[in-house]
Chain A
Amino acid sequence: MLEIKCPYCGKRSQNEFSYGGDAAVKRPELGKEVSDKEWDNFVYLRKNPRGNHREFWHHVAGCRQWFKVLRDTSTHEIFKTARLDEEL
């Protein structure tokens, strides 16, 4: 059971959160022209690294805020968490 530091509520147990996917993904602006390849990359392609991963988590049982986490996907070590407007 992971312990995750919500940037608002502090350290909480994993069962209060929901995993939110790769945080490196940036949605292209609405209405902007994007090539098919760019769009496919955004919708489908993920790096899925073994090791450090910047990802989103959602504090569903608490403050309901989305935030960023830097976690090692093979050891689960969590190095840092940050609010959406902060640097990770």
Chain B
Amino acid sequence: MTAITPLELVHKKGTFGDHHKKNEEDLLQISEVKYLNIIQIVHYKKSTLQLNNITVEGLKFPLESSKVSFNKQTRILWNGPKTWLVISLNENILNNIREKCDDKNFAITDISHSRAVVQIKGFQAREVLKKGSPINLNEFEKDNCAGTVFHGVTILVDLINDNPDTFNLFTLRSFGESFYHHITDAALEFGYVGV
């Protein structure tokens, strides 16, 4: 039984916007990122456990705001003091986390179904985000993350690549369709391919 992804019935493939007279490689690419496992891990206040001994999938928990620890399959995003979001393609990630983080010291909650994830990729991806997000994207570096808004919809921004710029944008599942319309509408000026 496969779950329906949040944007499965909404995402359209094809070429849209002012794409005429442009090379297809130069166009933005917009897609839904499916089947990501998203787990919230919170380190309890009263826990005396030292964090620097703990790794999940070989990754340490980032202790600085907006930072991301990552490898090919898994990214750990700073989400608040003592709070992280583990985002992984690994099906077993929840079990792997439970092996390293016990529930006396950590609150672990699976919220994989609660987010719609849109990926926007291309050299104009930052320009599209600038249309709706008031954060300083000029200084936003690879493997940084930030919680902000896009035209009033709360989103989490994760810059996973900078050649070309590739953003994974997380929003609450119920806002998914609205957010998808906002971001694709913003990309029309530049032309995009729905992949």
* CB–CB A61/B147 < 8 A: yes
Contacts of A5-30 to chain B: CB distance below 8 A? 8-13, 15-16
A88 interface hit (Cβ, 8 Å): no
Q: How far is the CA of A77 from the CA of B146 in the complex (A)?
A: 25
* CB–CB A16/B134 < 8 A: yes
* CB–CB A9/B134 < 8 A: no
Known contacts A16-B148, A61-B154; A8 and B81 CB within 8 A of each other? yes
Which residues of the other chain, A, contact B147 by a CB distance below 8 angstroms? 9, 16, 59, 61-64
* CB–CB A13/B135 < 8 A: yes
Q: How far is the CA of A60 from the CA of B148 in the complex (A)?
A: 9
Known contacts A9-B66, A10-B65, A12-B148; A63 and B79 CB within 8 A of each other? yes
Residue of A whose beta carbon sits closest to that of B147? A62
- Number of A residues near B (Cβ < 8 Å) is 16
* CB–CB A15/B149 < 8 A: yes
Q: How far is the CA of A60 from the CA of B154 in the complex (A)?
A: 9
Contacts of A35-75 to chain B: CB distance below 8 A? 59-65
* CB–CB A16/B81 < 8 A: no
Which residues of the other chain, A, contact B81 by a CB distance below 8 angstroms? 8, 63, 65
A34 interface hit (Cβ, 8 Å): no
* CB–CB B146/A62 < 8 A: yes
The 10 A-B pairs with the shortest beta carbon distances in the complex, nearest first, are A13-B134, A62-B147, A63-B80, A61-B154, A8-B65, A61-B149, A9-B65, A61-B147, A61-B148, A16-B148
